[in-house]
Amino acid sequence: MKKEPLKNNVNDYVIRVFDSPLVVDAHAWDDLLAQQNVAGTLNPFMRHAYLAAMHASGSASPETGWTPRFMALYVGEKLMAACALYLKVHSYGEYVFDWAWANAYQQHGLDYYPKAVVAPPFTPVPGPRLLARDAASRVMLVKALMAWCEAEQLSSLHLLFAADDDIAACAEAGLLLRHTIQFHWKNVAPTLVASPTALTPEGAGLAWGCPALQPLATTKFKDFDEFLATLNQEKRKKIRQERRKVAEAGVVFRWSRGADISAEDWDFFYRCYERTYLEHGNAPYLSRDFFEHMANTMPENWLLFVAERDGVPMACSLIALSAETPTSDGRSTPSETAQKTAYGRYWGALERVDCLHFEACYYQPLQWCIAHGFDSFEGGAQGEHKMARALLPVKTTSAHWLAHPSFADAVERFLEREGQGIANYMEDLERRNPFKQTQ
């Protein structure tokens, strides 16, 4: 596929828009991505291989309502900034819900679709969205996005689950900010040290997103029992009861990582994944071919748990893993300082067993993270029930631009009210912190 012609020149920047991730230089993209990760790891969902697989497999393509328009800024031949931009004709697979905005447009005789989204498809995981070599290039990329959307007569631009640097650039460019809550686990125990009054300030480091929660220790848990010992009695008892129910049902787990995940296990995983979607009345977002790409191009980023009973597979969960930033020669070397993160992604079961979901999607991954020295586990979108499993609330942020001035004003007022509601919700969640309250 051809790349689109030059769109504009701003100062020394040349702006190019590509109609497929497959024509974007993979090495240049991943090199730029590596520069966004000060913790020494790559966000797997922004790797070129991940985005290319979405398109090549037909999972995120014009046919499914995700039309790629990857934007890149160059100075000469040097890639200075880039982002994964999609034209959307619906709001599925985004997890930052704007259906009410679309309905309001329709009620006033206006078209909300197509709109522009900057995010990896079907992936509600916080991370870098505006890949840039410096702050100036990042701000320039935001301005280029806004100008391009205006020239294309799009209703709006949405950057979803963006990193702090991206949010700062968007705020400088005048975009509206929207907050949501996710639930993450860290491999150290927190304690309640003060009464919170507001959300963590923009750009502040996360202590589970809660101003009141600070690390109790700096060393990781040595095993699952030590982790359990930091929880209050009610939650500790509940987790043990849930795990006991699964064990008494005769269910055992095995795990495989990377290239050790067999083709048979990938097939079994997809059978479970597809069934889960169909049981909820929907076709799965991702095709079997997408996961074939994952197995072939970035196996190191995947961890599979398979539940068996009497030696027969009956359920599974697929976890994504961060990868260490490669060196200049393309190799990854172990680093003591690299922050290692696991991401809960997909699960499915062929049989119903009480508490099996909690075991497959939380307790097995947390136990594995502790055993392998991982720093954190991110549980995905929504899910207040995750707090009972020691995943604590974290604020995530998206940025939005609407072309219609009156609607932009209305959305801004809505976001102010919604933001206060999110702040109150966060305070309520903090009061239900599952850890022991050590002062």
Domain carrying residue 342: 185-392
Question: Is residue 218 domain-shared with residue 173, that is, in the same domain?
Answer: no
The reported pLDDT for the residue numbered 268 is: 98
Say whether pLDDT at 328 is over 50. Answer: no
Give the pLDDT of residue 430: 86
User: 129: closest CA among 62, 57, 32, 203?
Assistant: 32
Residues 378, 414 contacting (CB under 8 angstroms): no
Same domain, 271 and 341: yes
Q: Say if residue 179 is in the same domain as residue 192.
A: no
Task: Round the average pLDDT of the chain to a whole number and report it.
Answer: 89
Q: Are residues 101 and 125 in the same domain?
A: yes
Residues 241 and 256 in one domain: yes
Q: Would you state the pLDDT for residue 3?
A: 47
136: CB partners within 8 A, 6+ apart: none
Residue 436 belongs to a domain? no
**Range among 30-39, 323-332, 352-361 rated most confident:** 352-361
Q: Is residue 276 part of a domain?
A: yes
Instruction: Give CA–CA dist 242/246, Å, rounded.
Output: 7
The strand pairing partners of 392, in sequence order, are 184
- CA 266 to chain centroid: 22
Distance of alpha carbon 245 from the chain centroid? 31
Lowest-confidence pick of 235-244, 290-299, 302-311, 317-326: 317-326
Residue 307 pairs in a beta bridge with 253, 315
- CATH number for the domain spanning 40: value is 3.40.630.30
pLDDT of 207 above 70? no
| Residue 120 sits in the same domain as residue 30 | yes
